[in-house]
């Protein structure tokens, strides 16, 4: 795990634990550790740097494409993969192709405290039984020029498991 993400990890873990008391934080320093750790979780919330071609590299220079990470998560039963660190959209567009079903959130810009506030609102709705796509649409309607978008993080959301509910 890159130390630069420590504060963000702590912030997001506090939000998750408000709604999901069994939240686990598992710092991984290698891709191998990450792939071993994702087994058995519905939600995987990661902090990684994505290259312009969609690769994730660890400190030992091992690489995995976003598409391969999505596949490994889906094969492990993960229903939501959330890349929570800021990354340029080009890397997501080039290297994160959801070929297997799961909900995928890719963060472009957290937008400071807006991220935690949005995450808390979203998880509150989802913990109450609302499906993620409808909770997302209620909080971030896709209306061009909506002034409320300034209070939201910049993200890309792909609803590959639209009916998934997290309680």
What is the DSSP code string of 52-90? TTSEEE-TT--EEEHHHHHHHHHHTT-SEEEE-S---HH
Alpha helices in the chain (DSSP H): 6-19, 31-37, 66-75, 89-95, 114-127, 132-139
List the beta bridge partners of residue 103: 80, 159
pLDDT value for 3: 73
How many angstroms separate the Cα of 107 from the Cα of each of 18, 36, 62, 90, 156?
A: 21, 23, 22, 12, 6
Task: Decide the pairing of beta strands 55-57 and 43-46.
Answer: unpaired
Expressed in angstroms, the distance from the first to the final Cα of the chain is 27
pLDDT value for 158: 94
Q: Which positions of the chain have pLDDT values less than 70?
A: 1-2, 167
Task: Decide the pairing of beta strands 80-83 and 55-57.
Answer: unpaired
Which of these, 27, 20, 21, lies nearest to 6 by C-alpha position?
27
CA distance 13 to 98: 25
Average pLDDT, the chain: 92
CATH 3.40.720 fits 3-159, yes or no: no
pLDDT value for 2: 61
Reported as a single tens digit per residue, the pLDDT across 22-40 is 999 998 889 999 999 999 8
pLDDT value for 167: 60
């Amino acid at each position: 795990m890159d130390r630069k993400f420590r504060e963000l990890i702590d912030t997001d873990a506090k939000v998750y634990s408000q709604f999901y008391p069994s939240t686990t934080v598992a710092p991984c320093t290698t891709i191998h550790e990450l792939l071993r750790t994702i087994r058995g979780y519905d939600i995987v919330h990661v902090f990684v740097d994505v290259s312009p071609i969609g690769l994730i590299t660890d400190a030992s220079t091992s690489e995995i494409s976003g598409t391969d990470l999505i596949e490994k998560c889906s094969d492990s039963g993960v229903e939501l993969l959330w890349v929570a660190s800021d990354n340029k959209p080009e890397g997501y567009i080039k290297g994160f192709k959801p070929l297997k079903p799961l909900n995928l959130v890719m963060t472009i810009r957290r937008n400071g405290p807006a991220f935690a506030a949005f995450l808390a609102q979203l998880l509150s709705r989802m913990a109450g039984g609302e499906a993620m796509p409808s909770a997302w649409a209620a909080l971030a309607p896709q209306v061009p020029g909506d002034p409320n978008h300034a209070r939201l993080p910049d993200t890309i959301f792909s609803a590959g498991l639209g009916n998934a509910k997290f309680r």
